[in-house]
Chains A and B, each alone.
Chain A
């Protein structure tokens, strides 16, 4: 069962086959969890989102059409809706400017003595959600621009430009620390 694709496991999934469900869950939970984690910045919320996504798969698995799209992209779509709900609740997604927003807390002061990787880890959660999303999809999950565009529901060009801007923003924010470290 482990070597069958998600789409091939769909009929068994819709019948409530626990083995099929476990295979799909173990194969995809990491990606969904990481995406939710990047987007919400909270491990607890990410676990909650992951649970909701796979509960939705249980409930609606029988309605999924494997030929119209992959199970993974469907899972991402559900995860994205869940994340937006959480982000909206936390009033984070309301101010998602495409321009360079200043983070609430200036990490530059806090990270004076931290190494570059540690600083990056601290800076990324301070980026606006759209940039965190593109980093989660294109950098962490190594998706193509096309795949990321389908999930983020934006044109491929937007993904490309968001990724470029995310990197530029990080570089800019890291510059003072880089200078200090060097």
Chain B
């Protein structure tokens, strides 16, 4: 009996599942893997698609960034002069930063001419060329929206007395 059972068992060991089962399972595995990948890829793709759709609009939208002309002009001066020690009315000049030769100052506002003032400070900043053009500065007509480097002459009270171009911007 044992011998026959062994023979029967050896015969049985040759049995195996049909190949179709493996094919079905591997197909299922691939499908599951694809689903799993899609589970986290889909939101990513959706986000990317949204970005692509909305990006050009965001780019075309004119971003109005008003240049704070006055605000910049009244920024605290680079260097303060000790008022107590200033006995005689003198004009202290702050050495302008090195660079191209500055243009002459042009008076602005009520200050038709730069008058002798007690103290003055020069602040370097940028202003839109359109603003400079309003003060009769020689700026090119083609790039009015672009900023240009200027120096502001600030009075004791912080108001802008005069402007000059740092370099020729023709």
Contact = CB atoms under 8 A, between A and B. Distances in A.
Interface of A: 16, 18, 21-22, 25-26, 29-30, 32-34, 37-38, 46-47, 50-51, 54-55, 58, 116-117, 120-121, 124, 135-136, 139-140, 142, 167, 170-171, 174
A58 B17 contact: no
Contacts of B13: 30, 34, 140
Contacts of B32: 16, 58
Given A117-B4, A120-B4, A170-B1, A16 B33 contact: yes
Interface of B: 1-2, 4-9, 11-13, 15-18, 20-22, 24-26, 28-30, 32-33, 36
Nearest to B37: A16
A95 to B, nearest CB: 24
The DSSP consensus for interface residues of chain A is: helix
A58 B8 contact: no
B29 A58 contact: yes
Contacts of B22: 22, 25-26, 29
A36 B25 CA distance: 17
B17 A50 contact: yes
B29 A18 contact: yes
Given A139-B9, A140-B9, A50 B21 contact: yes
Contacts of A136: 12
A92 B8 CA distance: 23
A120 B8 contact: yes
Given A29-B16, A33-B17, A47-B18, A167 B5 contact: yes
Contacts of A142: 9
A114 B18 CA distance: 28
Which of A121, A140, A167 has the most chain B CB atoms inside 10 A of its CB?
A: A140
A30 B16 CA distance: 4
